[in-house]
């Protein structure tokens, strides 16, 4: 665009921005774009969501008009919360540099919005002759529809072409954005469904035991969320090969109330309405279906009625199952010398899962800060990056180099039955299709786990027997100012307030298999305290000791345990 045309174009754009933000006035500030975007009571959000529409369109124009996503969801939060998160053109989380713009825009006065938009255009050298493209989706929250209106208006005000994809799971939106820019797969919802269904079917056919196999039916708690809508469709497509019995489908219960992945993980109890007979395979999705937890009833009574016999298989278990499973085919395809494979965890990964991955499976393990964006970024540095948070977010990424080698292997060995090596190439190719390459996805993770168990001939009991979790405790402590708590070494060590880490070190040293750390939450105004140790008694002592130290040294106001997992 000629420079003389730039100013009029910018003036038109700023006028259009001024008009839209006037319709969605900022009532109060103090928003921060965290690991989950913005998330709070929905009534606080209309101005924020409208401004995120503006930012999404700017991001798209800054990326030469590539598609960008915006999803309205508050995941596992209560029904009256909502949130908004932007998706970059590769289908991943918004680039950290732009998170700063998001926070600035969300808190800006009407006038400062115009200054900020103008500043973004300058700094990011946005060519105002490009046309932006924004994909929008939302979960099932009643407030979603109202909020999407503001999002849509904001994006249109900045000249973006907007495609409202309606009610989708968060991973479906990430997928749509990624493949709208890659053109290698159909980015439509139908394309997403057909992709995973085809990969799952082919993986069943490639199963060395033959395709005439029985896949264990699975009971799926959908948290009364968006997962139910799309799982019904997926289940129809996969019937009668696999059977999904859907619970908490939203027709009666309330979103995330007494159900969902967060509920079963933190309370270690069954979701409401799902009756798990001994050893039946069950799982729980969260409200936007980007997380999954597996569980079963081992038939034992514990005296704790709600959680009698309850056994949880969390993100650490998925990491160990899928990493071991995939690594086996990497070895059989003789790709281990050429491809780097790494498992990425956070400090919340149970110590025994890490020992199992490194000791038994001989895999490289790395630790990053909490939050999917950090794990995803680290996974991208490797040819095969297996990443999972203990709470069930995660997937397996395959680099371009890995995909090229796998494809070349398939092309030179078109018959999977010709050798074990040939079959491995075919299996790896299908796994790379099944596992969502944009973001962790409850559906593709569920299907991948089913495939891994099928190939191994394992039940959940065999899976859980790989290792036993160290007893652990997770607590939250509200402090006067959580910004004083600063960490290093992937959040495993505390560098501020002074003296806190020394006290933690002294306590940890006293305890067999002890480990503890303290970090400020990125999503709540609290500090989280994690502890694990060899026995329940030791972990209680350690956890209580560290909580007391946080109260004393970091100015604790109140605290409570949020998660307890005992032997
Ligand atoms: P914070 O609040 O920063 O601990 C929580 C989860 C993360 C992740 C984000 C949402 C724990 C201990 N933390 O983060 O794993 O799910 O929410 O992106 O579960
Ligand atoms: Zn979620």
- Is residue 2 scored above 60 in pLDDT? no
Of the bound ligands, which one is closest to the alpha carbon of residue 523? 1
Whether the per-residue pLDDT at 3 is higher than 60: the answer is no
Check pocket membership of 524 for ligand 1, CB cut-off 6 A.
yes
Pocket lining: 355 vs ligand 1, CB cutoff 6 Å:
no
Active site residue 75: yes
> Which residues line ion ligand 2, judged by CB < 5 Å?
75, 286, 288, 290-291
| pLDDT in the model for residue 423 | 97
Per-residue confidence band for 305, with pLDDT thresholds at 50, 70 and 90: low
Q: What structural domains and CATH numbers belong to the chain?
A: 3-167 (3.40.120.10), 192-313 (3.40.120.10), 315-441 (3.40.120.10), 472-565 (3.30.310.50)
- In angstroms, rounded to a whole number, what is the distance separating the alpha carbons of residues 276 and 117? 53
Helix 442-456 to helix 170-182 angle (10° resolution) is 90
pLDDT at 6: 62
Pocket test for ligand 1, best of 34, 75, 522, 562 (most atoms within 8 A of CB): 522
Q: How confident is the model at residue 29 (pLDDT cuts 50, 70, 90)?
A: confident
173: CA distance to ligand 2 center in Å?
13
Mutate to test the pocket of ligand 1, among 83, 99, 170, 371 (most ligand atoms within 8 A of CB): 371
Which protein residue's CA is at the shortest distance from atom 1 of ligand 1? 521
Is 389 assigned to a binding site? yes
Q: Provide DSSP, 486-528.
A: EEETTTTEEEESTTHHHHHHHHHHTSTT-EEEEEE-SSSSSEE
State residue 303's pLDDT score: 61
Q: How far is residue 367's CA from residue 374's CA, in Å, rounded to a whole number?
A: 10
Q: What rounded mean pLDDT belongs to the chain?
A: 95
273 in contact with ligand 1, CB cutoff 6 A: no
**Residue 556, pLDDT score:** 86
Alpha-carbon gap, residue 425 to 62, rounded angstroms = 38
Q: Nearest C-alpha to atom 10 of ligand 1 is from which residue? A: 36
Give mean pLDDT, residues 443-463: 97
- Please check whether residue 197 is in contact with residue 111, taking contact to mean a CB–CB distance below 8 angstroms: no
> Which residues are CB-contacts of 418 (< 8 A; sequence separation ≥ 6)?
none
Atom 17 of ligand 1, residue of closest alpha carbon: 523
Average pLDDT over residues 154-162: 97
**Best of 84, 85, 391 for a ligand 1 pocket test (most atoms within 8 Å of beta carbon):** 391
pLDDT in tens, 316-363: 999 999 999 999 999 999 999 999 999 999 999 999 999 999 999 999
Torsion, Cα 220 223 226 228, to 10 degrees, reads 30
**CB atoms closer than 10 angstroms to residue 111:** 10
For the CA of 517, the nearest ligand: 1
Token pair for residue 286?
Answer: 């969260």
What 3-state class would DSSP assign to 233?
helix
Do the Cβ atoms of 446 and 459 come closer than 8 Å?
Answer: no
**What value does the mean pLDDT take over residues 495-511?**
97
Q: From residue 309, how far is each of 296, 422, 468 by CA, in Å?
A: 8, 42, 16
Of 33-47, 296-310, 416-430, give the lowest mean pLDDT range: 296-310
Kindly give, in sequence order, each residue whose CB lies less than 8 Å from that of residue 543, ignoring residues fewer than 6 positions away: 473, 475, 516, 529, 531, 561
Closest ligand to Cα 36: 1
What pLDDT, in 10s, does the model give residues 222-250?
Answer: 999 999 999 999 999 999 999 999 999 99
The mean pLDDT value for 455-474 works out to: 96
Which ligand lies nearest to the CA atom of residue 35 in the structure? 1
Write down the pLDDT at residue 264.
Answer: 96
- Please work out whether the CB of residue 562 comes within 6 Å of at least one atom of ligand 1: no
The answer to whether 523 is annotated as binding is yes
286 belongs to an annotated ligand binding site:
yes
> 57 with 132: CB under 8 angstroms?
yes
CA of 524 to the centre of ligand 1 (A): 9
Closest residue by Cα to atom 4, ligand 1, is 521
At 403, list the tokens. 């995909």
Residue 416 CA to residue 424 CA, distance in Å, equals: 8
End-to-end CA distance of the chain: 66
Count Cα atoms within 13 angstroms, Cβ side, for 9: 15
Q: What is the mean pLDDT of residues 521-545?
A: 94
User: What is the distance between the alpha carbons of residues 563 and 514, in angstroms, rounded to a whole number?
Assistant: 17
Please state the atom number of ligand 1 nearest to the C-alpha of residue 348: 12
pLDDT for 5 = 60
Determine if ligand 1 sits within 6 Å of the CB of residue 387: no
Pick from 207-221, 326-340, 532-546: least confident: 207-221
**288 is an annotated ligand-binding site residue:** yes
Dist. CA 370 → ligand 1 center (Å): 6
Q: Is 441 annotated as a binding residue?
A: no
Cβ(348) – ligand 1 distance below 6 Å? yes
The catalytically annotated residue of 47, 60, 75, 320 is: 75
Q: Quick one: pLDDT at residue 183?
A: 86
Share of the chain above pLDDT 70, in %: 98
List phi, psi (to 5°) of 394: 160, 170
Region 448-477: mean pLDDT is 96
Question: Quick one: pLDDT at residue 1?
Answer: 53
Question: pLDDT: is 301 or 256 the higher one?
Answer: 256
Q: Report whether 154 contacts 57 (CB < 8 A).
A: yes
């Amino acid at each position: 665009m000629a420079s003389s045309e730039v100013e009029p174009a910018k003036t038109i754009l700023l006028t259009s921005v001024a008009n839209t933000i006037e319709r969605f006035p900022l009532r109060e500030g103090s928003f921060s774009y965290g690991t989950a975007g913005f998330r709070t009571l929905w009534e606080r959000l209309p101005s924020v969501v409208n401004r995120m529409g503006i930012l999404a369109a700017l991001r798209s124009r800054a990326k030469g008009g590539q598609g960008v996503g915006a999803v309205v969801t508050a995941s596992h939060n209560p029904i009256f919360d909502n949130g908004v998160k932007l998706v970059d053109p590769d289908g991943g989380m918004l680039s950290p540099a732009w998170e700063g713009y998001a926070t600035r825009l969300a808190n800006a006065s009407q006038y400062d919005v115009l200054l900020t938009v103008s500043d973004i255009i300058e700094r990011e050298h946005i060519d105002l002759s490009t046309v932006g493209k924004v994909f929008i989706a939302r979960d099932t929250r009643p407030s979603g529809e109202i909020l999407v209106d503001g999002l849509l208006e904001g994006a249109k005000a900045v000249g973006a072409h907007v495609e409202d994809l309606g009610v989708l799971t968060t991973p479906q939106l990430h997928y749509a954005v990624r493949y709208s820019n890659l053109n290698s797969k159909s980015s439509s919802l139908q394309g997403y469904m057909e992709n995973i269904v085809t990969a799952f079917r082919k993986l069943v056919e490639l199963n060395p035991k033959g395709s005439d196999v029985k896949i264990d039916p699975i009971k799926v708690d959908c948290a009364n969320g968006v997962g139910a809508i799309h799982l019904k469709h997926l289940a129809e497509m996969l019937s009668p090969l696999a059977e999904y019995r859907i619970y908490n489908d939203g027709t009666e219960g309330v979103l995330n109330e007494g159900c969902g992945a967060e509920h079963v993980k933190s309370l270690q109890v069954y979701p409401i309405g799902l009756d798990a007979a001994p050893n039946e395979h069950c799982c729980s999705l969260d409200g936007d279906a980007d997380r999954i937890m597996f569980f079963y009833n081992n038939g034992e009574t514990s005296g704790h009625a709600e959680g009698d016999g309850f056994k949880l298989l969390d993100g650490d278990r998925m990491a160990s199952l899928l990493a071991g499973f995939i690594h086996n085919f990497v070895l059989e395809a003789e790709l281990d010398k050429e491809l780097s494979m790494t498992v990425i965890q956070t400090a919340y990964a149970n110590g025994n899962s890490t020992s199992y991955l490194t000791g038994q499976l001989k895999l490289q393990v790395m630790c990053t800060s909490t939050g999917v964006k950090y794990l995803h970024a680290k996974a991208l540095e490797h040819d095969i990056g297996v990443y999972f948070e203990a709470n069930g977010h995660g997937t397996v990424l395959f680099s371009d180099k890995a995909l090229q080698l796998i494809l070349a292997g398939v092309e030179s060995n078109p018959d999977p039955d010709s050798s074990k090596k040939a079959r491995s190439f075919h299996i790896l190719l299908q796994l790379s299709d099944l596992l969502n390459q944009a973001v962790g996805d409850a559906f593709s993770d569920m299907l991948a786990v089913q495939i891994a168990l099928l190939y191994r001939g394992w039940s959940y009991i065999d899976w859980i027997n790989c290792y036993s979790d160290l007893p652990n405790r997770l607590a939250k402590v509200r402090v006067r100012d959580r910004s004083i708590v600063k960490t290093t070494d992937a959040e495993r060590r505390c560098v501020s307030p002074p003296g806190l880490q020394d006290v933690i070190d002294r306590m940890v040293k006293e305890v067999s298999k002890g480990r503890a750390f303290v970090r400020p939450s990125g999503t709540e105004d609290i500090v989280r305290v994690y502890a694990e140790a060899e026995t329940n008694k030791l972990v209680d002592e350690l956890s209580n000791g560290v909580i007391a130290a946080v109260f004393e040294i970091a100015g604790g106001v109140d605290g409570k345990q949020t998660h307890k997992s005992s032997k």
